[in-house]
Amino acid sequence: LSHTHSDCCCYHNSPKSYILLKTWDPALKKRDDFEDILEERRSSSDLRYALRCYVPVVYKGIAPCKPGVLKTAVLQSDRLRHVVAEMSKETGESADVIREEASGILEEMAHRLRLGTVRFFAYSLSKAFKALFQRVRVNEDGIQRLQQSIQEHPVVLLPSHRSYMDFLIMSYILYTYDLSLPVIAAGMDFLGMKIVGEMLRMSGAFFIRRSFGGDKLYWAVFSEYVKTMLRNGYAPIEFFLEGTRSRTCKSLTPKLGLLNIVMEPFFKGEVFDVSLVPISISYERVLEEALYARELLGVPKPKESTSGLLKARKILSEDYGSIHVYFGHPVSLRSLAQGRINRSQYNLLPRHIPRRPSQETQAFVNETAYRLVRLQEENMVLRPWVLVAALLLQNPDGVDMERLVEQTSWLRGLAVSFGAFLDWPGNTKAVASSLALHTGLVRTEGGRAQLAMEPKEPGSPEEDLFDRAASVLSCASYRNQILHVFLRPALLGMAMQMAEASRKDDIYSCFSFLRDVFSNEFILCPGGTVQDFDEACYMLTKCAAVHVQKQEVVATEKGQRILSFLTSLFQPFLKGYQVGPAPFLELVDYPRHFCFLGFLPSLTCYEALSSDVQKNALAALLRMKVVRKLKV
Amino acid sequence: MASESFGSEEEEQQQQQQRRRRADRRVRALSGHLEGRAEQARDGPPTERDTELRSRSAVPRRRQEVMKWNGWGYSDSRFFFNKKGQAELTGKRYRLSGSLIPGLKDWFEGTFGADLKHESPAKVALCAGAVPPPSLGEAFVAGLQAAALPFSVETEDRAFRSHGHCLHEIFALRRGKVGRVPDLVVWPGCHDDVVKIIKLACQHNVCLIPYGGGTSVSNALECPVEEPRAIVSVDTSQMNRILWVDEKNLTVHVEAGIIGQDLERHLGEQGYCTGHEPDSMEFSSLGGWVATRASGMKKNVYGNIEDLVVHVRMVTPRGVIEKSCLGPRVSIGPDVHHFVLGSEGTLGVITEVTLKIRPIPAYRKYGSVVFPDFERGVACLREVARQRCAPASIRLMDNKQFHFGQALKPQVSSIFTSFLDGLKKFYITKVKGFDPQCLCVATLLFEGDRERVLWHEKQVYDIAAKFGGLAAGEDNGQRGYMLTFVIAYLRDLGMDYYVIGESFETSVPWDRVLDLCRNVKEQVVRECRERGVQFSPLCTCRVTQTYDAGACVYFYFAFNYRGLADPIHVYEQVEQTARAEILANGGSLSHHHGVGKLRKQWMREAVSDAGLGMLRSVKEYVDPDNIFGNRNLL
């Protein structure tokens, strides 16, 4: 475990670098206003809406392509022909058989967009959304930017993924605004649902297997399919950078496979540019709230099935508050790659021959992925409940309502100064409405608010523990939504505590260590330590919590409250990393820094039970070579 | 002495008897030469060579007498808008000369957002004091005098040889500005003169810059400001004799200063041609072609310059480089000709060249094909190349260039013609359903026996039909080629109204042609927007040459610069990003314009470190004192 000081020399904050940082200051970020798209739905006919004339703008005036034509184009592409010939040579199988196989894969994968199905969804989702949500709010400026982008360049839509609702919402919004419907990369699991799977296919979903690591043919068909759609700009391509729904409401480390695929046509000059559009979908209350907590505690995910969906109808009777969908600024891949990617590296090989991306390219794709996830995070609308949940979790014994209102308002000030995107109805109302919407998670009695930890009907001690942990995890999933705002300053706060001295170099090395430890847990772009440290210093200086000097970082009197809030906000993760993986581990090394983490054998922290934390902690320990995998 | 207009020259010439013309020419050459001599008081007595047959060139020693000092081509030929707003080309040299072009104004104003009310005329003369007096070592001048070499230190002569035809060069001239100019211009009359000049230059450490036709568009003729020595321009225009014609082997031995039109005219008188016709052939010289690896329009039949050259003689500070025989192909190590071809004046002066010649074809026919879109046009050209049945020339203009060509149609005199035009248009757009905003045109030129041409024509049209192409007549074809001869004159017209433009070219594998064209055009548009150009630019391309493994693509790029403080800087930056985009899309640094100083920054990337080192070591051996210090290429 070595974290050298080699990269420390450049982080000394000169006044000049502050000026530079100020232009970046998240609190100054301007964001668009929202419109509620359900408002019109409540006052006019859903049927007419579903049957209205739908003529979306398309890329350079290209006519949307018939699925059949698309399939032929893929099967006859140079790339696929090349791979088929190669495989035939390798396996001795006749090319026809392999081609047949490719055709089968494509059949299973491809979307079959039908306007009729889209209209059916438009109708039924209108009904469902009106029943479930108070409002579905969209930033219309973002829609306008998107409309512009769609006509100029191929567009890739990258929504955050918190719920099954995400892609339904996305298509619904695009349909509402007369934009071309995206084709959506979906997991094969949905095909398990009778009828519904096929209906999703007809509304633009295409299905990919969860894992196909070594299958060259599958990879070729899949990537060529996506690239053909992108090159010809038939429709925006939509996929989830995070790969799967985040059960914890924290952003997940991005997956790079699809991002690599959609970037390649640009690298090879087949398209002029690609617009990457980060989209942040935030739910006031996630539909899968209870399910997620159970999953995190080890109850397997219920299999996607049509009957399960029908059973879930009862959720229609509950209130899930509002949804905010923020379409971020389209990011031009060309601008990102400027000076980073030397595209002439593709000059010497025919473009249909697959090649492993160069290291430079891999690093670029990875960095871009992190950047896009951070853009998603930045534009997530946070509801007051998120702050309330954070405070309640820090006070398991409950808080007086008055004090809660005061603390929430204080926290709001801090969050805003760190750049949080809050939807705020006023202090008192904020707390009251939060508590009202989440009655399942919080109890208010005698002017005190407290997490609802007591099981409704007492069972065995194990069951009680399970229920308590489940409600803590549900609550934590809301708090998690704001962690990205506080992450960097909190890491600095913890580093200051850990360093037990104010020397900047020491603090930096602790910061760097913590950042390394938590890089599976949070979105921390590899190689961005110096920048993150500078950001953290800047933010904490701005709220007067610390004093950054040339050699030292010192906490101020006033800063104690902020720092202690920040450290306790992340305490559950520290604890989780201490106890979480412990039962499975045989330590090979016991480095100095882990002394600080200290292995506390008590089980006071329910969050440590989360399989997500355990998984991340284990991955971090493996990555840092603190532990070693033995034969399973 | 004036050159005839292109296209009609051969027929006329063939009617005349060769013998009589030769006699005529002899007389003219002699008298012309004596006149020329009279101008230079410093000249020595007539030497033996002056009594030899010497043809009168279309370009005299004092070029400014017939050519513009601050624009393209002949002084008597320029475009202007008359009072009715119709464009006209003055003079009598070209097919378009004297006719009215009614469509140009609308196209011009519509394309560039330009307005004839907003003029940006050129200065009439160089600014006083723009050219500093020459600084020369007396010994060197004395040496020239002793060797009886004609030279000049006049401002006009020197300024004329201080530039090529890059946009920034012409733009500065129009504002009366010149950069560094040569201190002296010398006119060698033969190979031996060049040997003397180089010897003197080596003795006195003077920097030499060879000058041929002056049509460079790679900044190759610019005199380096940082050069501390005196700079002497070696104008080869007087080395323009055809030394011999070998009808048995079909070769010709020519002095390298001859310009394209003279070479073809003189060979034509004897029933031959080289077939090398770069777009600049009215003014560019044989030596220049060799030094830049030029490409001719009809290379499909005759080959590019490297295919035509049988033998080269070049004088370098290290001595004369040449091969010892005229063998048609040799295996004697790396071909030393290839150090000369493309050397861009960095190694020495090319003095004599032996070229292949061909009998003038009996029959020549233009043609054109309309395609519904550029994609299908490119696919057709690719198929023609695959079947190796390309006519002498085949070019595919994109939609914008097609409209440009249409705007240059001269006013038709008869109602019948305009009715026919209307009918054609109706047929293509309405009956065949071609979108006027998408369709594009391929222009064709066939040469050979009548039978063969007709058969060949059918073959090409059959292929075109497979890609949705419709034959669109000879007229369109011919007009397409005319565009290339008048485009540089049109640039001067644009510059009268705040529009600046330039061309650039590349070569690229077939599968990347479409992607490259699209991406480069978009890059130009995007870059212009980002750099504050207020009107959308014109960026149009054509595929001008087909090869087995790829094609040559030629771009025109122009924009209205009103409102920009430093239009040339903006222009240069856009051009740079366009070149970077070309390279990123698998295009070459240059197909035929050369590297010069304009594209030098990409040489390392283009030929690798070791490759650049090889070129450097040749330069170091041949010219250790950097006498040929134009700083091109390396």
Reply yes or no on whether the pLDDT at A63 is more than 90.
no
Q: What angle do CA B399, B401, B404 make, to 5 degrees?
A: 115
Tokens of B171: 């733009």
For residue B374, the chain A residues in CB contact (below 8 A) are none
Confirm whether residue B348 is marked as ligand binding.
yes
Q: What pLDDT is attached to residue A213?
A: 73
The whole model's pTM is what? 0.88
| Residue range B275-301, pLDDT digits in tens | 999 999 999 999 999 999 999 999 999
Q: What pLDDT is attached to residue A572?
A: 87
Range from A174-188, A467-481, A556-570, B599-613 that averages highest in pLDDT: B599-613
Range from A13-22, A403-412, A592-601, B10-19 that averages highest in pLDDT: A403-412
**Residue B511 at interface with chain A, using a CB cutoff of 8 Å:** yes
Backbone angles phi, psi at A126, to 5 degrees: -55, -45
Q: What pLDDT is attached to residue A425?
A: 84
Cβ contacts below 8 Å, chain A against chain B, sum to 25
The span from the CA of B575 to the CA of B502, in Å, is: 9
Answer whether B554's CB lies under 8 Å from B544's CB: yes
Q: What pLDDT is attached to residue A600?
A: 38
Reply yes or no on whether the pLDDT at B612 is more than 60.
yes
Q: What pLDDT is attached to residue A632?
A: 52
In sequence order, the β-bridge partners of residue B311 are B354
Determine the distance in angstroms separating the CA of B611 from the nearest CA of chain A, rounded to an integer.
Answer: 17
For residue A343, the chain B residues in CB contact (below 8 A) are 584-585
Q: What pLDDT is attached to residue A137?
A: 95
The span from the CA of B570 to the CA of A132, in Å, is: 56
Nearest partner of B544 among B535, B536, B556, judged by Cα: B556
Tokens of B252: 């010709």
Q: What pLDDT is attached to residue A455?
A: 65
> Average pLDDT in the A192-201 region?
83
Q: How many CB atoms lie within 10 A of CB B621?
A: 11
Nearest partner of A420 among A377, A478, A474, A372, judged by Cα: A377
The span from the CA of B462 to the CA of B460, in Å, is: 5
Answer whether A18's CB lies under 8 Å from A538's CB: yes
The span from the CA of B231 to the CA of B181, in Å, is: 8
Cβ of B515 and A270 within 8 Å? Answer: yes
Nearest residue on chain A to B525, judged by CA atoms?
A272
The four Cα atoms A19, A25, A28, A33 give a dihedral, to 10 degrees, of 150
Nearest partner of B543 among B377, B368, B355, judged by Cα: B377
| Residue range A512-553, pLDDT digits in tens | 999 999 999 999 988 899 999 999 999 999 989 999 988 899
Reduce the DSSP state of residue B299 to 3 states and report it: helix
Counting other chains too, the contacts that A189-197 makes at CB distance below 8 Å and 24 or more residues apart are A189/A303, A189/A304, A190/A304, A191/A108, A192/A303, A192/A304, A192/A305, A193/A304, A193/A305, A193/A306, A193/A309, A194/A305, A194/A306, A195/A306, A196/A306, A196/A309
Backbone angles phi, psi at B178, to 5 degrees: -130, 155
**Per-residue DSSP letter, B141:** H
Of A343, A350, A351, the CB nearest to B584: A343
Q: What pLDDT is attached to residue A631?
A: 59
Q: What pLDDT is attached to residue B30?
A: 42
Task: Say which range, A200-204, A389-393, B124-128, B374-378, has the weakest mean pLDDT.
Answer: B124-128
**Residue A343 at interface with chain B, using a CB cutoff of 8 Å:** yes
Give the residue ranges of DSSP H helices in B350-449: 374-386, 399-407, 415-426
Tokens of A465: 């523990």
ipTM > 0.95 for the complex: no
Nearest residue on chain B to A265, judged by CA atoms?
B515
Cβ of B586 and A350 within 8 Å? Answer: no
**Per-residue DSSP letter, A398:** -
* Torsion sign (Cα): A600, A601, A606, A607: positive
**Residue B530 at interface with chain A, using a CB cutoff of 8 Å:** no
Answer whether A610's CB lies under 8 Å from A576's CB: yes
Reply yes or no on whether the pLDDT at B388 is more than 80.
yes
Exposed/middle/buried for residue B215 (C-beta within 10 Å: 0-12, 13-18, 19+): buried
Cβ of A347 and B523 within 8 Å? Answer: no
Cβ of B585 and A270 within 8 Å? Answer: no
Confirm whether residue B124 is marked as ligand binding.
no
In sequence order, the β-bridge partners of residue A444 are A449
| Residue range B548-562, pLDDT digits in tens | 999 999 999 999 999
Tokens of A357: 């991306």
Confirm whether residue B251 is marked as ligand binding.
no
Q: What pLDDT is attached to residue B173?
A: 94
**Interface mutation vs chain B, best among A342, A344, A345, most B CBs within 10 Å:** A344
For residue B523, the chain A residues in CB contact (below 8 A) are 272
In Å, how far from its chain's centre is CA B220?
13
Reply yes or no on whether the pLDDT at B71 is more than 70.
yes
Pairing of strands A183-187, A322-327: unpaired
Tokens of B53: 């047959």
Cβ of B523 and A272 within 8 Å? Answer: yes
Nearest residue on chain B to A342, judged by CA atoms?
B584
Tokens 């949905």 belong to residue: A190
Give the residue ranges of DSSP H helices in A137-273: 140-152, 165-176, 196-202, 216-232, 257-267
